[in-house]
């Protein structure tokens, strides 16, 4: 296991994050029981993993409770980088039981601290955009929690790029704590974040931690051609799409899955490892969500090898998306010729890493 800096902070986190959305007993709607959850946790620790991701709403709070118990039993709380989220409604029927507001934020953090059996949270994510709470309220509230010592760093998950940009720009101007990381869905199947979210993250120095890196299971190898010799693969994929509601799998998605399988077989690896390494080699810290020991071992084995430049290029091509306006327009030959005067290819557009004033880090 290697470690990476989280955004513009000095925090060192493992190159994979363990997602604990699956941690929970049957009545908590989790995918694995407490014993299995503990085994997954221990396996991640054994290889040097220290970055663990949960949320207040995962399995009704059971995920946090189990994780808190596991960490407490090690007597090494300081070793872990514990990330949790707020915004999920923990009191159905109560309009203030969730959302991005300061009230939701404070009551959620207090609940998470109790379930996690800790007096501070390493990284607090704003889970989803509620579209009504002002950015000022969110960022000032998060800054106050950082100043209180209850949270150390903040991140943002599942928000539009313009909201994150406004938030970090405001934090910079107000000398508030900025976001250091972005959590989004990103995979060979879902590359639309490349239009706005990933360029924004790069511009602000945010580390990206993708979820659903296997495209909802499509890239796990379960739906490969060889597993459906009778030709009923499309029917099984239709069932998968129905379970995920918003997702549709067509010729493009099947072509991607087949390309992943081809590269996996050529390397003697698994489709899961190929899909995971593509995301990892894009400079992200993937969140692995597993419910079985075989799955976590397969995921961790991806760290032992890399895709070649040629293999990355092949996967890039088969999964390519249209960036749309204004991106495609600005990259067109006519625009380059008109606005760069024939010098486009002579200009190095790579900026140095932004300098962060020490005064902005002082608290």
- Give the residue among 112, 212, 202 at the shortest CA–CA distance from 164: 202
Q: Which ranges of 175-250 would DSSP assign to H, the alpha helix? A: 197-204, 233-244
Dihedral sign computed on CA atoms, order 94, 98, 100, 104: positive
List the structure tokens of 256.
């991607």
Per residue of the chain (363 residues), what is the pLDDT tens digit?
999 999 999 999 999 999 999 998 755 566 899 999 999 999 999 999 999 999 999 999 999 999 999 999 999 999 999 999 999 999 999 999 999 999 999 999 999 999 999 999 999 999 999 999 999 999 999 999 999 999 999 999 999 999 999 999 999 999 999 999 999 999 999 999 999 999 999 999 999 999 999 998 899 988 887 777 666 777 777 777 777 665 667 889 989 999 999 999 999 999 999 999 999 999 999 999 999 999 999 999 999 999 999 999 999 999 999 999 999 999 899 999 999 898 989 988 776 655 454 444 444
pLDDT given for residue 124 in this prediction? 98
Question: Per 3-state DSSP, what percentage of the chain is helix, strand, and coil (rounded to 5)?
Answer: 50, 15, 35
pLDDT given for residue 245 in this prediction? 65
Q: Three-class SS of residue 144? A: helix
List the structure tokens of 206.
């945010």
- The answer to whether 151 touches 177, Cβ cutoff 8 Å, is no
List the structure tokens of 363.
């608290």
> How far apart (Å, rounded) are the C-alpha atoms in residues 81 and 53?
9
From 3, 58, 249, 355, the catalytic residue: 58
List the structure tokens of 266.
């050529």
> How far apart (Å, rounded) are the C-alpha atoms in residues 63 and 32?
10
pLDDT given for residue 291 in this prediction? 94
58 a catalytic residue:
yes
In the chain, the domains with their CATH numbers are: 3-331 (3.20.20.100)
pLDDT given for residue 136 in this prediction? 98
> How far apart (Å, rounded) are the C-alpha atoms in residues 155 and 184?
11
How far from each other are the two terminal CA atoms of the chain, in whole angstroms? 32
> How far apart (Å, rounded) are the C-alpha atoms in residues 165 and 142?
16
> How far apart (Å, rounded) are the C-alpha atoms in residues 151 and 85?
11
């Amino acid at each position: 296991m290697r470690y990476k800096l989280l955004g513009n902070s000095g925090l060192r986190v493992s190159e994979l994050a363990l997602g604990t959305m699956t941690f929970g007993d049957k009545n908590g709607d989790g995918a694995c029981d407490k014993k299995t959850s503990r085994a997954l946790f221990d396996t991640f620790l054994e290889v040097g993993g220290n970055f663990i991701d949960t949320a207040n709403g995962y399995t009704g709070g059971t995920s946090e409770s189990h994780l808190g118990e596991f960490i407490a039993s090690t007597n090494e709380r300081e070793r872990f980088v514990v990330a949790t989220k707020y915004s999920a409604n923990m009191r159905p029927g109560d309009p203030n039981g969730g959302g991005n507001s300061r009230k939701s934020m404070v009551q959620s953090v207090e609940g998470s601290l109790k379930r996690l059996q800790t007096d501070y949270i390493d990284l607090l994510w704003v889970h989803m955009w509620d579209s009504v709470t002002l950015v000022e309220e969110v960022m000032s509230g998060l800054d106050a929690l950082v100043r209180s010592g209850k949270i150390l760093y903040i991140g943002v998950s599942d928000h539009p790029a313009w909201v994150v940009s406004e938030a970090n720009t405001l934090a910079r101007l107000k000398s508030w704590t900025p976001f250091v990381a972005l959590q989004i869905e990103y995979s060979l199947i879902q590359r639309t974040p490349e239009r706005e979210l990933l360029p924004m993250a790069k511009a602000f120095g945010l580390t990206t931690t993708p979820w659903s890196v296997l495209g909802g299971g499509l890239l796990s190898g379960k739906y490969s051609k060889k597993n459906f010799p009778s030709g009923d693969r499309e029917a099984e994929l239709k069932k998968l799409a129905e379970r995920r509601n918003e997702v549709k799998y067509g010729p493009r998605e099947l072509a991607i899955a087949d390309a992943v399988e081809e590269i996996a077989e050529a390397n003697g690896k698994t489709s899961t490892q190929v899909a995971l390494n593509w995301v990892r080699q894009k400079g992200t810290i993937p969140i692995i969500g597993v419910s079985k020991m075989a799955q976590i071992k397969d995921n961790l084995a991806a760290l032992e090898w890399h895709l070649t430049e040629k293999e990355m290029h092949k996967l890039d091509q088969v999964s390519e998306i249209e960036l749309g306006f204004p991106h495609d327009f600005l990259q067109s030959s006519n625009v380059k010729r008109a606005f760069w005067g024939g010098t486009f290819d002579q200009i190095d557009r790579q900026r140095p890493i932004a300098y962060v004033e020490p005064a902005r880090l002082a608290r």
